[in-house]
Amino acid sequence: MANTLKTRNMLCDVCNAATTPDEGSVVSPENFRKLLAKGWGVHENNIGMVMESGLLREQAITMLTQQHAASQSPWFLCPQCAAQARNV
């Protein structure tokens, strides 16, 4: 019998793009903090959403960086974000 279950899409934790678990990559919280320290990991879409609440751009980036750095969970990255992270 053919497998009728479809692979469910997941959302990238950085850019929110839909991707499958097989196509995405998982980054440990420790490695994600290293990426943040190098200036990568805060996506423009998230900065814009926070700025809509009234914060200035630099305040939004600082807040998001702090929130991301405090995470103890692994980060799921879409192929595009994973490629960017490898080049940081």
Confidence of residue 6 (pLDDT cuts 50, 70, 90): low
Mean pLDDT of 12-39: 96
At residue 59 the predicted structure's pLDDT band, cuts being 50, 70 and 90, is very high
Question: Does some domain include residue 61?
Answer: yes
Residue 50 lies in a domain: yes
Residue 13 lies in a domain: no
Residue 86 lies in a domain: yes
Residue 52 domain-assigned (yes or no) = yes
Per the structure, the count of domains in the chain is: 1
The domain containing residue 75 runs over which residues?
A: 38-88
In a domain, 25, yes or no: no
Question: Chain centroid to CA 50: how far?
Answer: 15
Residue 77 lies in a domain: yes
Residue 70 lies inside a defined structural domain of this protein = yes
